[in-house]
Structure 1
Amino acid sequence: MQLRYPAVFTVAACVVCGPVLAQSATEHHVWQDKRKFEPYSRTAESITGTIRLSGNPDFAAPGSKMAITFGNGKKVGLTSMGASWRQWDETSGSKATAEVFKLSSDPGALRNGNTLCGDPKSEPARYVVFLEKSSYGASPLLGMAVFASKDAPRDINSPNLCGTFNYGTN
């Protein structure tokens, strides 16, 4: 009988460890790759145009760097503030993994004289948040939310949301 209890505890420990190990796999998201993203929404088409991300293999590593280049050639540095699993999609109440980046500066006027957050001097864009969004069986979309808040946003309902943009990932 003394051998049965250690065996039961060993099996239980292995069952408990299995899912934990599976969850620790490294995540990889479309915004981490060096690539261009074509506008998928009318907002993205009229304001940013095609965007290019320089790539960042260090997912959610606070302080890691990458850059975004907008359709008119303006390039802005991005610094990761980390990632979270919260409600980031403005059209659904479901949670998603998203990474928050601090902009090195507001890019100013983009396509057609439009800006990310209104007047870049009085209400500059300060943060962008990237997330993957489903597109009904096709490749995922890249979602981008822009905030003018002085503090990093916690979710899509954080103060000073300026706009949301969607891009194709094909």
Structure 2
Amino acid sequence: MQLRYPLAFTIAACVVCGPVLAQSAMEHHLWQDKRKFDPYSRTAESITGTIRLSGNPDFAIPGSKLAITFGNGKKVGLTSVGASWRQWDETGDKKATAEVFKLSRDPGALRNGNTLCGDPKSDPAQYVVFFERSSSGGPLLLGMAVFGSKDTPHDINSPNLCGTFNYSTD
């Protein structure tokens, strides 16, 4: 029996076709779903309480909208600035995909009179960044970093980090 195509050609054809035939899943993150997130960290418990996100299927599309409602009922609009793959977790140097949102306004006093960034008039919260982080052996957590800088934050070490919050996803 004589082969029409050499074995090397057949293997090369399979290697070349493999990636073309495979489909990658669309990127989807916790903060895109319409749902509530219960506080996981003490900071989240004492300042924001449970948060609710309105949902936004448009991951990292600048100008797309989302709303956050804090535990005391205050609701604030968020506008996506985009996403990045950088260090966003303050406890390690691992990189994570995060989406940066500009707040429509500072929400003011939240739980127990606490605020996101200090005085909402002189030092307002400007940006929130959502990212997923792992908990020791448990389910993923929703991380939220808040910045008071007028400049868009580019990682956790950006100027005017006001605080970080963690929320349960189960």
TM-score with structure 1 setting the length:
0.89
Q: Secondary structure at the match of 1:77?
A: strand
Identity of aligned residues (%): 76
CA RMSD of aligned residues (A): 2.0
State the shift of 1:7 in Å: 5.4
- Structure 2 unaligned residues grouped into runs of 5+: none
State yes or no: 1:110 paired with 2:110: yes
> What is the CA deviation profile of residues 91-144 of structure 1, one whole-angstrom value per residue up to 9, with x for unaligned ones?
010000111010000000111111000011111101000011111232211100
Q: Secondary structure at the match of 2:155?
A: coil
State the shift of 1:6 in Å: 6.3
State the shift of 1:62 in Å: 1.0
State the shift of 1:31 in Å: 0.7
Q: Which residue of 1 aligns with 2:149?
A: 149
State the shift of 1:14 in Å: 3.3
Q: Secondary structure at the match of 2:151?
A: coil
- Structure 1 unaligned residues grouped into runs of 5+: none
> What is the CA deviation profile of residues 47-75 of structure 1, one whole-angstrom value per residue up to 9, with x for unaligned ones?
10111000111111111101000011100
| Map 1:52-67 → 2, pairs under 5 A | 52-67=52-67
Q: Which residue of 1 aligns with 2:84?
A: 84
Q: Which residue of 1 aligns with 2:75?
A: 75
Which of 2, 11, 16 in structure 2 is aligned with 1:13?
A: 16
State yes or no: 1:136 paired with 2:139: no
> What is the CA deviation profile of residues 13-62 of structure 1, one whole-angstrom value per residue up to 9, with x for unaligned ones?
335x36xx65x531111111111111111101111011100011111111
TM-score with structure 2 setting the length:
0.89
Q: Which moved more, 1:25-34 or 1:101-110?
A: 25-34
State the shift of 1:158 in Å: 0.6
Q: Which residue of 2 aligns with 1:119?
A: 119
Counterparts of 1:38 and 1:9 in 2: how far apart (Å)?
Answer: 51
Counterparts of 2:13 and 2:159 in 1: how far apart (Å)?
Answer: 49
Q: Which residue of 1 aligns with 2:163?
A: 163
In structure 2, what residue type is equivalent to 1:13? V
State the shift of 1:10 in Å: 3.6
Counterparts of 1:137 and 1:60 in 2: how far apart (Å)?
Answer: 28
Q: Secondary structure at the match of 1:31?
A: helix
Paired positions, count: 167
